[in-house]
Amino acid sequence: MNIILSIFQLIFGISLIGLILLQNSKGGLTGGIVPSDGYRTKRGAEKIVFRLTIIIAILFLIVCILGLLIK
């Protein structure tokens, strides 16, 4: 069972890294320091990647907690 959870952790971890790297980097750390153009809504593929990142992060967290509870 631990091997299966480790495989899922690896898959979700790599997917999470890839999805974070795909996201738009505008408005990161400098967004709080330098005033930006204003609020911009996410549309199309950007919205899908954003939501998928949240879902994968939650799944990764659940698998990590299950891994701790099973040991």
d(CA 15, CA 22): 11
- Asked if 6 and 71 touch (Cβ cutoff 8 Å), the reply is no
**pLDDT attached to residue 24:** 77
The per-residue pLDDT for 5 is 93
5 contacts 69 by C-beta, under 8 angstroms? no
How confident is the model over 1-49, as pLDDT tens digits? 889 999 999 999 999 999 999 987 765 555 556 555 666 777 888 999 9
Look up the pTM and report it. Answer: 0.77
Give the per-residue pLDDT at 31: 54
User: How many Å is the Cα radius of gyration of the chain?
Assistant: 16
End-to-end CA distance of the chain: 10
